[in-house]
Amino acid sequence: MDALKIISESSLKKETPEFNVGDTVRVSVRIQEGDKSRIQAFEGTVIARKHGGINETFTVRRVAHGCGCERVFPLHSPVVEKVDVIRRGKVRRAKLYYIRDRVGKAAKTKDALR
């Protein structure tokens, strides 16, 4: 059991970004194409954070060309290069799944005064 704890602690990222549900973030993801790799940005609103520790994930939602697109990112994955907070959001729930049913301005979150 101690060996698993040591392995999981060594796999954790040293600096995790500070963001919460409702924030608009830009996630830089490393994409492998053949023998080359590049960094692609995925920008949207964080609608969920799940689990904790090594298994922590967060879900980012954006609307592209009128179609909703969601992606789940493992927080401590080496594929996730960095997470930049674009805008802080003020929400009162831990999961924002209700945004999936909203369209236009109703799908926005308020700005937080932090």
- Cα separation, 113 vs 90, in Å, equals 8
Give the number of domains in the chain: 1
The torsion angle over the Cα atoms of residues 32, 38, 42 and 48, rounded to 10 degrees, is: 50
CA distance 46 to 25: 7
Residue 63 placed within a domain: yes
Round to whole Å and give the CA distance between 57 and 43. 16
pTM recorded for the entire structure: 0.88
Boundaries of domain holding 67: 2-109
User: Is 29 within a domain?
Assistant: yes
Residue 7, domain member (yes or no): yes
The ranges of the chain with pLDDT < 50 are none
Q: What is the pLDDT of residues 47-79, one digit of tens each?
A: 999 998 889 999 999 999 999 999 999 999 999
Residue 33 falls inside a structural domain: yes
114 lies in some domain:
no
